């Protein structure tokens, strides 16, 4: 029996699994009646069309916990990025209920800084029910910049009077740099070696103190003993 086309599409577009543990703070998760997040990865270039429609399940209950995750959250912003150890980044955002009713989609732009200039890495159009997006396969030691902009609703063709379109809200951006995995392993190894050396030095000092206290003093005191008739 062949699988339904929707299941095949979800399997083809499914992102890598996330390691979720403790509950996410309130306000960062989608509504309970939004089981899927529809999105399109747009092709490179100035055109806004194209792309294949995919679906992903929201990252409910996710919490960034060190050392397997590093959280980048600018103060006063509603956008944050959790850099995971498996070279992926979970982008999360929150929106007030009143503002969410005026949003038809979210435009996500990604870029990374090279030696002399910035390069685009991904352009995504997400549905209004989305509150997170997983960016896989980020490079170590590269400064990434992710910008998310809510797109307002368009005026319907049956509107009673033509109203001026609502201005789009400014995009919010977050920057981060993924820690090199090799450097992280070196730091962990050096920490372990340094701890072992410290333990060995403490043991040696205690052993020297014990030898000096219990063995050397009686040996030095023997020549001074004299017998009197």
Q: What is the mean pLDDT of the chain?
A: 74
> 169, 162 in Cβ contact below 8 A?
no
**44-98 confidence digits (pLDDT tens):** 655 445 678 899 988 888 888 888 899 998 877 889 999 998 889 999 998 888 8
Residue 28 has pLDDT above 90, yes or no: no
Residue 208 has pLDDT above 70, yes or no: yes
pLDDT for the residue 22: 42
Residue 136 has pLDDT above 60, yes or no: yes
> 112, 143 in Cβ contact below 8 A?
yes
Q: Do strands 69-72 and 79-84 pair parallel, antiparallel, or not at all (unpaired)? A: antiparallel
- CATH 3.30.950.10 given to domain 5-179: no
Q: Which range, of 122-126, 147-151, 193-197, 224-228, averages the lowest pLDDT?
A: 224-228
Express as a percent the part of the chain with pLDDT over 70.
Answer: 62
The phi and psi torsions of 29 (rounded to 5 degrees) equal -115, 150
> 61, 20 in Cβ contact below 8 A?
yes
Q: Give, in degrees to the nearest 5, the angle at Cα 120 between 59 and 36.
A: 20
Q: What is the Cα–Cα distance from 224 to 220, expressed in whole angstroms?
A: 8
**148-203 confidence digits (pLDDT tens):** 999 998 766 554 444 555 555 788 999 998 876 554 445 445 566 666 787 788 87
Q: Which range, of 29-33, 91-95, 113-117, averages the lowest pLDDT?
A: 29-33
Reference 88, options 73, 69, 116; nearest CA is 69
Q: What is the Cα–Cα distance from 157 to 21, expressed in whole angstroms?
A: 46
């Amino acid at each position: 029996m062949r699988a339904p086309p929707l299941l095949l599409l979800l399997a083809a577009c499914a992102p890598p699994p996330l390691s979720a543990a403790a509950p996410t703070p309130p306000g960062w998760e989608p509504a309970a009646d939004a089981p899927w997040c529809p999105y399109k990865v747009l092709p490179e270039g100035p055109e806004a069309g194209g792309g294949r429609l995919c679906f992903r399940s929201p990252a409910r209950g996710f919490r960034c916990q060190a050392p397997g995750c590093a959280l980048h959250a600018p103060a006063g912003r509603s956008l944050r990025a959790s850099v995971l150890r498996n070279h992926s980044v979970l982008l999360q955002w929150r929106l007030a209920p009143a503002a969410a009713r005026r949003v038809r989609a979210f435009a996500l732009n990604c870029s990374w800084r090279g030696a002399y200039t910035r390069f685009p890495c991904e352009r995504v159009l997400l549905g209004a029910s989305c509150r997170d997006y997983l960016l896989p396969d980020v490079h170590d030691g590269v400064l990434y910049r992710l910008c998310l902009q809510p797109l307002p609703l368009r005026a319907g063709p049956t509107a009673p009077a033509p109203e001026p379109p609502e201005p789009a809200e400014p995009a919010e951006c977050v920057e981060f740099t993924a820690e090199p995995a090799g450097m992280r392993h070196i730091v962990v190894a050096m920490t372990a070696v340094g701890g072992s050396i410290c333990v060995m030095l403490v043991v040696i000092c205690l052993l020297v103190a014990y030898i000096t206290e219990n063995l050397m003093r009686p040996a030095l005191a023997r020549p001074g003993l004299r017998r009197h008739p």
